[in-house]
Every structure is written in C-alpha cells, then in structure tokens.
C-alpha cells in the first residue's frame, strides 16, 4: 500500500487519524493552536507520538524511526534556509547529506531551481532573496531528495498577494507531478480550494471534519471553516444548519416567524463585501453571525457598531447536516 495512513496521539495536543493515497494533496486547516503544526511534526518524527504512522506500507513509529531516515521534505513556516549557504548549496544539502558527490548534487540542485523558476538565483544567500524567491528555494530543497511525504507549513504566509498567487500556481504544477503525499497546513481557504484533493479540519487537537474541499466548504462543521468560507453555521437540535450571509434578514424589531432561527444581538463590525455591506453580529446566546445588507438598508436602519438588531433566516434557505462527524 502506498500513501500515508496515520492514527496518532500526542498527549494533550493532538489525537488524529487520516488516510491519504499516493499523490494526494491534503490541506490541513484550523484555527491557531489547533494542532496543525503538531500533526506535521508528528509525521516528521520531531515529536514523540503514540500510535501508527504508516508511509508506503512501513510504520515509522514502531519503533520510532529517526528523523533523518524517514525521507520527509519539510518546509517550515519560516522556511529556515541555511543562512551561511547559497541557494544552490541549500538545495544540494539534502543530496550531499545522503552521500551524493558534490558535483552531481549541484547539477540536480540546479535543475530543481530551474524548475521552480529561480534558476539564476543559485549564488545568492538567503538574506538576499525576497519572500517568494526564498519560498521557492525552500520547496526545491525539500523536493530534490524525492521525499515520501511533503510537509508544507503555511507556505504562502507573509507573501504579497501577487507573489503568493504565482507561487500557488507553480506549486500546483509541481504537486500534480509529485508522487508522494503532501500535507499542506494553511490558514487560507483559497489554498485548500485550489491545491488540495482532500481537506482535513483540525480543531482543539482533534480532526473535526474531512472531505473534498467542495464538501467542506459547502457544509462546514466548525466555526473556523465557516468563517473561512464566509458561511454561518449554527447548531439546531441535533443537526447543523449552514447558510450564507445573504440569506439573513436584518431588522430592528423582533420579526415574525420561527423562533428557532431568530437571534438578537449587537452589531460588532461592518466591512464592505462586494456590493453589499457585511455585518458581524454578536448574539446573546448564539454564535457570531455574518449578515449582508445593501448599503442603503444599512443607512436606513442606522446599522453602526453597537446597534441592537434582530436576525432571522428561513429554514428553507439553510442546508442541514448531521452533527455526527
């Protein structure tokens, strides 16, 4: 069996199980502190874990295989390019560490730099590279050793929008031809939607939801993902209801209709959203909700921060989802 299959426990921080086939790109999303980076560290062997980490049929945790023997390609959040080596030497490092001769290592390293579009930057030191360039070098360094698992921790964090976009495109190309499993930790829904085959949602140390990006976006089970994709998610008995902000009606007086889908709260903030104005409303006994109103309506109702409002949504406008994971 190729691919990645894990079922691990890091006491107090993570308890997760997931399967991925060879060539899969799995996006790992979730709020800060949920355990996403812990998951990557567990696969890399940087943390002691209880359980099973099977890669290409071999369990890396029984007994725990040393980090250097695992064959993972790690691109940490701060990239950690060796500051005293040039870009080319950085990329060649993994090859030389495994015994390859300097000359051939450099040739292969140069190939990968070319492939990632930074071929002419080989002689530069990391401090002379821009964020996007450094990220490409870090990717090349991780990929050149042909790892079984590629671990990317927030690869687009801190990059300009334009730079991130072109990098995303480049990464998508390479991941398409990469035969190992990729775990991609990200904050950005766009990454998940454009790059991933599967999405895994981590919340408070547990896996809250898995599925294709489309499934998860359409039926988010956690508030984090709901926010990420711009949906409202509320529990209702033993089902979950999700509905877009545009389906919410805002009024100043208690509305008629189903009390279950009616909330009272205060406007916490407003942001422009396309042609509409998106309100963030904190409710007394419910979740935070997003509601879209036209700018004209906002003026009519006097919707400024602190304004008390009533929100309601038609049951028919919601999609329900069982609470069971």
Partner 1 sequence: MTSAPSPARTPARAPSLGRPPLLLLVPGSVGAALLVVPLVALLLDTPWSDLGAQLADPAVRDALWLSGLTSALTVALCVLLGTPLAWLLARVDFPGRRLLRGLVAVPLVLPPVVAGVALVAALGRNGLLGGPLHDVTGWTIPYTTTAVVLAHTFVSLPFFVLSVEGALRTAGERFDVVAATLGADRWTTFSRVTLPLALPGVAAGCVLAWARSLGEFGATITFAGNFPGTTQTMPSLIYTTLQADPAAARTLSMLLLVVSIGVLVGLRRRWLVTS
Q: How far is the CB of 79 from partner 1 (least distance, A)?
A: 9
Question: Which of 17, 21, 22, 46: binder of partner 1 (CB under 8 A)?
Answer: 46
* Residue 39 binds to partner 1 (criterion: CB under 8 A): no
**44: contact with partner 1 by CB under 8 A:** yes
Q: How far is the CB of 237 from partner 1 (least distance, A)?
A: 47
User: How buried is residue 96: exposed, middle or buried, by Cβ count under 10 Å (0-12/13-18/19+)?
Assistant: middle
Using CB under 8 A as the binding rule, whether residue 306 contacts partner 1 is answered as no
Strand partners, 25: 182
The answer to whether 82 contacts partner 1 (rule: CB under 8 A) is yes
- The least distance separating partner 1 from the CB of residue 145, rounded to whole angstroms, comes to 6
Residue 80 or 283: the one with the smaller Cβ distance to partner 1 is 80
DSSP for 234-272, written as a single string: EEETTEEEEE-GGG-EEESSPPSS-STTEEEEEEEEEEE
- Give the separation between CA 6 and CA 16, rounded to whole angstroms: 8
* Nearest-approach distance from CB 248 to partner 1, in angstroms: 45
CB 199 within 8 A of CB 220: no
Among 6, 42, 72, 248, binds partner 1 (CB under 8 A): 72
Which listed residue (70, 221, 224, 240) binds partner 1 by CB under 8 A? Answer: 70
Binding segment for partner 1 (CB under 8 A), chosen from 17-25, 61-69, 244-252, 278-286, is 61-69
Tokens of 119: 């071929």
Q: Which stretch binds partner 1 (CB under 8 A): 68-76, 252-260, 276-284, 303-311?
A: 68-76
Q: List the interface residues with partner 1, window 182-241 (CB under 8 A).
A: none
State both tokens at 34: 């949920």
DSSP 311: E
Q: Which is nearer to partner 1, 31 or 147 (CB)?
A: 147
Cα gap 231→136, rounded to integer Å: 33
Beta pairing, strands 50-55 & 4-10:
antiparallel
Specify whether the CB–CB gap between 164 and 156 falls below 8 A.
yes
Q: How far is the CB of 39 from partner 1 (least distance, A)?
A: 15
How far CA 192 is from CA of 25, 68, 104, 153, 229, in Å, comes to: 9, 29, 36, 13, 11
Q: If binding is defined by CB under 8 A, does position 76 make contact with partner 1?
A: yes
Helix axes 102-115, 87-97, angle to 10 degrees: 130
Element (H, E) at 133: helix 131-143
| Least separation in angstroms between CB 187 and partner 1 | 20
Which residues are CB-neighbours of 233 under 8 A, at least 6 positions away? 220, 221, 222, 223, 226, 240, 241, 242, 287
Candidates 1, 50, 62, 67; binder of partner 1 (CB under 8 A) is 67
**By the rule CB under 8 A, 56 interacts with partner 1:** no
Does the protein bind partner 1 through residue 73 (CB under 8 A)?
Answer: yes
98 versus 214: smaller Cβ distance to partner 1: 98
Contact between 294 and partner 1 by CB under 8 A: the answer reads: no
Compose the 139-178 pattern: x for residues touching partner 1 by CB under 8 A, - for all others.
--x---x---------------------------------
Q: Which positions lie near partner 1, rule CB under 8 A?
A: 44, 46, 66-74, 76, 78, 80, 82-84, 93-94, 97-98, 141, 145
């Amino acid at each position: 069996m190729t691919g990645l299959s894990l079922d691990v426990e890091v006491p107090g921080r993570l308890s997760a199980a997931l399967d991925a086939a060879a060539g899969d790109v799995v996006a790992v999303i979730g709020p800060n502190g949920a355990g996403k980076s812990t998951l990557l560290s567990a696969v890399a062997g940087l943390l002691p874990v209880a359980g099973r980490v099977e890669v290409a049929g071999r369990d890396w945790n029984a007994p725990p295989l040393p980090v250097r023997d695992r064959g993972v390609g790690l691109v940490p959040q701060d990239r950690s390019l060796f500051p005293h080596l040039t870009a080319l030497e950085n990329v060649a490092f993994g090859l030389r560490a495994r015994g390859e001769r300097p000359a051939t290592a450099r040739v292969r390293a140069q190939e990968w730099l070319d492939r990632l579009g930074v071929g002419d930057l080989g002689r530069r030191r990391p401090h002379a590279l821009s964020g996007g360039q450094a990220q490409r070098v870090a990717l090349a360094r991780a990929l050149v050793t042909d790892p079984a698992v590629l671990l990317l921790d927030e690869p687009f964090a801190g990059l300009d929008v334009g730079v991130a976009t072109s990098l995303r495109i480049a990464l998508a190309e390479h991941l398409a031809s990469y035969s190992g499993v990729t775990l991609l930790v990200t904050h950005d829904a766009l990454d998940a939607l454009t790059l991933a085959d599967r999405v895994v949602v981590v919340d408070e140390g547990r896996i809250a939801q898995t599925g294709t990006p489309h499934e998860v976006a359409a039926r988010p089970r956690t508030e984090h993902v709901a926010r990420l994709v711009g949906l409202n998610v509320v529990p209702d008995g033993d089902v979950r209801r999700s509905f877009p902000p545009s389906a919410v009606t805002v009024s100043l007086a208690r509305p008629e209709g189903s009390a279950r889908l009616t909330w009272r709260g205060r406007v916490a903030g407003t942001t422009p959203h396309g042609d509409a104005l998106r309100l963030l409303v904190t409710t007394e006994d419910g979740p935070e909700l997003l509601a879209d109103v036209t700018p004209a309506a906002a003026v009519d109702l006097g919707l400024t921060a602190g304004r008390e409002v009533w929100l309601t949504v038609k049951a028919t406008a919601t999609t329900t989802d069982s609470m069971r994971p």
